[in-house]
Amino acid sequence: MHGGGRVRYDEIIVSTIHVKTASASYPVHVGSNLVSKIGRHLRNITGKPGSRVFVVTSPVIWSLWGREFVSSFTKDQAPTVLFLAPGEQHKRLTNVERLATELSAAGADRSSVLIAFGGGIVGDTGGFLAAIYMRGIPYIQIPTTLLAQVDSSVGGKTGVNLATGKNLIGSFHHPLSVFADVNVLETLPPRELRAGLFESVKAGIIRDPSLFRYLEQHRESILACDATALKRVVSASVAMKAEVVGIDERESGLRMILNFGHTLGHAMEAVTGYKKLLHGEAIAWGMLAALHVSRSRGMLSEREAHRMEQLIRAYGPLPGFRVRIADLLDAAGRDKKHRAGTRRFVLTTGIGKAVVVEDVTDAELTSALESTLGEAAR
């Protein structure tokens, strides 16, 4: 399946999706037991049999999957492991400098390969480290959360946070390959799994009606971590993103639709200090607010709005929180999706359809947030 394709649910799922952009082309492999095979595939991936291998991971992931990961390497190929503590508060430049220093001290050079083995924080930070170390070294993504598998590991966006906002320091740096192993999702806490599924819900809302229907019809098997169901969800979500990124690599047009729910979702994360909500949960609240704006503008039928809201809530529950609307509007105003002072906002006109608008007013956002925060505060 190539980036422009769709997942066919009445056929065998193809396990490899090809991302093709103007600057890079690479495969995303979706399947089972991929972690235990990575070492054997590394030579074919890099084309450099003598490359030193470095791994950025979290202590928790390494304790769960490190032995299986290392078992796929020969003794002379054994990777050097670097650790990044979990949590958004560690996705900062100070840790990038520390990791870069550790790479240098361990002898990493331009022929070295970095593997980002973890969730979105490890992937974003590790990818950015690879982008800037010695002006760029190759890297591979092995995402271990559903959120990272369906979203952040694909598309080449890397970066870290500033105190004033998420991902404000970063670079486009595509991986050589992505390995999405659904087996590792079995060790995810249920809340983390659900948070990742909100990104797949987003994919269905903005561009893939068949994925939307699959999420509606197979909720129980998906939440039970059925491998076949998860492969279908991950494959479809990646295929949608690969298609969009292939058309618009640098977010100058179509790729903006991937930010559905993100403008206010990122603001909610920031205002709550990244402590109350997981990223996917914040995006879910942001999507509910965006649906409110879409409906109030008459762009979206009540029937389809209801289906979308139902699907978002079906993969909840969403944790509550209390913040001031003024603080959210202020945080949203610093969002990096603004261009020349213009607020860009993604709305939906129906299941599988999204539009980018530039005329959403503070009054509209206030109305949407009053409704959303009223529910969040219960």
Q: Which residues are catalytic?
A: 135, 157, 199, 241, 251, 255, 259, 262, 266, 279
* Angstrom distance (rounded) from CA 348 to CA 352: 8
* Angstrom distance (rounded) from CA 117 to CA 111: 19
* Angstrom distance (rounded) from CA 167 to CA 153: 14
* DSSP assignment letter at 150: I
Contacts of range 273-276, beta carbons closer than 8 Å, 24 or more positions apart: 274/87, 274/88, 274/89, 276/319, 276/321
* Angstrom distance (rounded) from CA 150 to CA 30: 10
CA distances from 281 to 19, 89, 93, 246 (A): 27, 17, 25, 27
CA distances from 291 to 39, 171, 205, 346, 351 (A): 45, 31, 10, 10, 11
